[in-house]
Amino acid sequence: MQLDTPKPSPYPKSRVQLSFNKLRGKKLESVQPTSLADLRCGQHAVLGDLDVADELRRRLMEMGFFPGSRIDATGCAPGGDPRIYRVDGSEIALRAETAAQIRIRPLAAAAD
């Protein structure tokens, strides 16, 4: 089944939304990706919040992961995990479990 227009979610972008997307799985292509793990190879988005521990957040920022930056999914390791992202001029590999904790917005919605 395919939805024609994605309805705005009544919930804020939260874990409820995340598990909801997970439940409905890959069939709902049109549901907007909410975490970096949903981003497919070749797609791009704008980074949102980094829902990770402080230590890891600082480290990600040092690697160029700032909320508001453009991020491109450029590839992955054989087997699909870890994935490779291009952000702020460098290519960084992350495991899917870390990528799932990083929120994203579609590029069109970016204010800058």
Positions touching another protein (CB under 8 A) are 55-56, 58-64, 66-67, 74-79, 81-82, 84, 86, 88-95, 98
Written as one string, the DSSP assignment of 4-28 is SSPPPPSS-SSHHHHHHHHHHGGG-
CA distance 67 to 45: 11
CA distance 47 to 66: 7
User: Least distance from C-beta 110 to another protein, angstroms?
Assistant: 15
Cβ-based nearer residue to another protein, 13 or 70: 70
Cβ-based nearer residue to another protein, 45 or 87: 87
Cβ-based nearer residue to another protein, 75 or 106: 75
